[in-house]
Structure 1
Amino acid sequence: MKKDTIEELFNRLDGQLDIAEPTAGHELRFLNKLNTSKGVATLPKKERNFWKPLSIAASIALVCVLGFQYLNTPSSIEEQVVKIAPEAQQTAFYFTSLIDEQVVELQEAKSPETAKLVDDTLLQLQKLEKDYKALEQELINVGNSKFILNAMIINFETRIALVKEVLENIEQIKNINTVNDANFTI
């Protein structure tokens, strides 16, 4: 008998090959038949595949919660103040930069003789900053009020005046020390 090549075999069997997929549960029925032929009887197990829908539902819930949390984040106090009074941001920026420059100058002037004075001044500045934050919150609660805006500006001016006065006092202390050192002889 003549051996067929693979191509001839497939050409000859074209349309006769079974290419359909087995029906659902085919593997389970096959295993049951196999086990019964060996004398082992098993009941078919029902697959409970509830984890897949549950995990999909949990994922959707997580995405919804994160989206809701992201969309409902309150804007910062500064953003809310800008919405109420846009000129307040420009004023605050100007005063804050001026105060920051003076605080750096104050910290550079710190010496053992003036350390207590500088530390007390920085503590007072922190209290005034806390008061300013309270004024911002009040502005948000009440709305655009000229009284509150005026109080915010006065707060900045008070901080500037405080730092200037302390810098002048430090300068006087340094002058007194140099005069005393010049008069001191060994």
Structure 2
Amino acid sequence: MSKDNLDRLFERLQGQFDVEEPHTGHQDRFLEKLNRSQGTVSINKKRPTWWKPLSIAASVALVALLGYKVFAPQPSIEQQVGKIAPEVSNTEFYFANLIEQQVQQLKDEKSPENAQLVDDTLAQLQRLENDYKKLEQDLVNGGDTKIILNAMITNFQTRIDLLKDVLSQIENIKNLKLNNDESFTI
């Protein structure tokens, strides 16, 4: 057949071609009939594909587990420290309240004469607080518990001693000023 004959044939059959998809399982039924007509037995029976839904479910479960591990709320350092050494929570609460009261008293005593002393003290207290946070992290990371707990208590005691000394110095400054003012006569 020449190319012109083929083109005329397709033009004549235009719109008469079967373009529909066969029904589900058509290929299996066709192969079964073909095998029966030839007298052969088909060994390749299609098994149910249970592994596909199972693999999808396993993938979803794996993604959910990884998502939970990544986005789950992590316990704070204070909670982790509380689990490692429960007595630290009570001690920290006591010392923190005592320090907070003394810091408030220090801020109340601030005046132009002692402003530099108060500001320096607050900066030193912040450094000590940062050191305490590092000690908590060391405790959580598995450092020597006994040594770290002693260092934490020493940190609190250092802060309390610092505040007591500064408050004492402020009281001395106030007394000196008061005494100097009283010694002048007009």
User: How does the TM-score come out when normalised to structure 1?
Assistant: 0.62
Counterpart residue number, 1:139:
139
C-alpha distance 68-84 of structure 1, shift in aligned 2 (>3 A): closer
- Cα distance between partner residues in 2 of 1:115 and 1:67: 50
Spell out, residue by residue over 1:97-149, the C-alpha distance to the aligned partner (whole angstroms, 9 max, x if none): 00000000000001100100000000000000000000000001125611100
C-alpha distance 143-86 of structure 1, shift in aligned 2 (>3 A): farther
- Cα distance between partner residues in 2 of 1:83 and 1:68: 20
| C-alpha deviation, 1:74, in angstroms | 2.0
Counterpart residue number, 2:117:
117
CA contact (8 A) 1:80 1:140 kept: yes
Q: How many equivalent pairs are there? A: 125
- Cα distance between partner residues in 2 of 1:70 and 1:141: 21
Counterpart residue number, 1:150:
150
- Structure 1 unpaired stretches of 5+: 1-59
Identity percentage of aligned residues = 57
- 1:172 counterpart = 2:143: no
Counterpart residue number, 1:3:
none
- Cα distance between partner residues in 2 of 1:185 and 1:67: 78
- Structure 2 unpaired stretches of 5+: 1-59
Superposition misfits of 4+ residues, deviation over 6 angstroms: none
- Cα distance between partner residues in 1 of 2:124 and 2:157: 14
**Pairs within 5 Å for 1:11-160:** 64=64, 67-71=68-72, 73-143=73-143, 145-160=145-160
CA contact (8 A) 1:128 1:159 kept: yes
- Cα distance between partner residues in 1 of 2:179 and 2:109: 18
C-alpha distance 167-145 of structure 1, shift in aligned 2 (>3 A): same
Aligned-CA RMSD value: 2.0
